[in-house]
Amino acid sequence: MPHSTLPKRSSRVVVGAACAASVWLSLASAVAQSAAHELQPVLRALEYTAPASCPDRSAWLSQVRSRLGQNTSAMVRPLRTRVVIAASGTEATLVFADGGGQRHISGVDCNEVASASALIVAIALGSSAQAANAHAPNARAAAEAPPPAPIPPRSQPRTARRVDAPAVTPSDAEPGTDTSAASNADPRTDTSAASNAEVSSGRRWGVQLGASAELNNWLAPWPARSFGGSVELVAPSRAWSARAVGVYGLGERVVTERRAAFSYWGGHLDLCPVAAGSTRTWRWTSCAELHAGLLRAEGDESSALASASSRQALMLTAAAGTRLQTPPLWALRLEVEAGLAVPVLRQTFQFGSPEQTLFQSPDVGLSGRVGVLFPLDGQPDPKP
């Protein structure tokens, strides 16, 4: 008889456990669906605009939701926010509505900027949840408190006390992300400097010395050769840079056994407002350049230049170039550049008796340059 009853008892235990597990899963699913439903108005209040190469709105909202966490999501209140990532993908602007101000952030690429903006928005939403959670018990306590005592005839001086708001600590922040400054900051306060420092991970201005060699057809007769030394400043965001270059150039031209030698002293200022990459990786820049200098031509006794043409002339040229830099190689970076130039002041050099043209500034010139760069800041960007 004992053997005949054991299977029945085991069956009851299994059925009871299965029912308990089913009820628990149903409750967990209902709670998750309720939290997701309550979070929908909050997510609809977030505007997100980004280039096609960046994470789309759905992926970005997933990052915001993951940083909020399940415990915080139920207490979040809608906070109208607009996030706009620039076309370069390295900068973004966050605007908090209802007088909340705005913040500007920058990073190496669009993924980093999108992640940082999602973290900042999540911190702002988490602050609203903590404020609501802290306000509820205070409101109940105020409702249950007895009426205040009558004010005495003579008022006593009161000492103001400072109450610090609780620091916001995002539990789901990405590993290695420094959120101490952003967590303690008011999300409605314009702290663009702090956010730039957070995203660029403590970068500072970069300084690079350089040397280069160039061939072109607008400085002197082709192939005109020039050699330069440069000093370059790179912005902390690595999004732009500026360079000053001193140049010495030379060339020559022989026409029917008459020879003229050309020499050039000058320089140029370069501004590179478009860039991609960092000081540890391949880096591409697009630059605008302004060249100025003095070109001098000399002929021997039998090859005198025409007296009606100046033997030296001021050269002023506008140029545009695109540059590619390699990752560091033994503390140096190699650079190649290709460019187009448009002379602002067009000059002509020619022989006389008989008259023969030696060099004339072209309508559009071409150039190619190679060089090396030596960083001086001693603080390369963190590894991605």
Q: How far is CA 310 from CA 55, 301, 314, 342, 347, in A?
A: 60, 17, 10, 21, 9
Name the helix (H) or strand (E) containing 265: strand 258-276
Token pair, residue 69, equals 């966490």
Inside any domain, residue 157: no
Residues 279 and 356 in one domain: yes
The reply to whether 235 and 176 lie within a common domain is no
331 and 194 fall within a common domain: no
User: Do 212 and 353 reside in the same domain of the chain?
Assistant: yes
> Where is the domain boundary, 152, 177, 199?
199
Is 9 among the domain residues? no
pLDDT of 182: 42
Check whether residue 335 and residue 223 sit in a common domain: yes
**For 50-103, what is each residue's pLDDT tens digit?**
988 899 988 988 888 888 765 555 556 677 888 899 988 889 998 887 666 788
Does residue 194 share a domain with residue 276? Answer: no
Does residue 364 sit in the same domain as residue 301?
yes
Does residue 383 lie in a domain region? Answer: no
Q: Tell me, yes or no, whether 186 and 266 share the same domain.
A: no
In a domain, 213, yes or no: yes
pLDDT, position 278: 76
124 and 235 fall within a common domain:
no
> Which parts of the chain have pLDDT scores under 50?
1-17, 19, 23-24, 27-28, 30-32, 136, 139-143, 155-160, 162-185, 187-201, 307-309, 379, 382, 384
Give the pair of three-digit tokens for residue 75. 């207490």
Nearest one of 365, 372, 363 to 338, comparing CA atoms: 365
Quick check: bond before 51 cis, omega within 30?
no
Q: How is residue 239 annotated by DSSP?
A: S
Q: Are 194 and 217 found together in one domain?
A: no
Q: According to the model, what pLDDT value does residue 350 have? A: 81
Find out whether 256 and 267 touch, Cβ atoms under 8 Å. Answer: no
The candidate with the shortest Cα–Cα distance to 379, out of 281, 279, 304, 284, is 279
Within a domain: 371: yes
Any idea what the CATH number is for the domain that residue 254 is in?
Answer: 2.40.160.20
3-state secondary structure of 224: strand
Query: Which of 153, 183, 199 is where one domain is finished?
Result: 199
Tell me the C-alpha distance between 288 and 319, whole Å: 6
Tell me the CB-side half-sphere exposure of residue 245, using CA atoms within 13 A.
Answer: 25
Task: Answer yes or no: is 1 within a domain.
Answer: no
User: Looking at 156, 183, 199, which one is the last position of a domain?
Assistant: 199
Q: Which domain holds residue 270?
A: 206-375
What pLDDT is attached to residue 260?
Answer: 87
350 within some domain: yes
Residues 29 and 58 in one domain: yes
**Residue 249, domain member (yes or no):** yes
Residue 352 sits in the same domain as residue 231: yes
pLDDT for res 145: 52
Domain total in the chain: 2
Sorted by sequence, the CB contacts under 8 Å of residue 60 that are 6+ apart come out as 48, 50, 83, 114, 117, 118
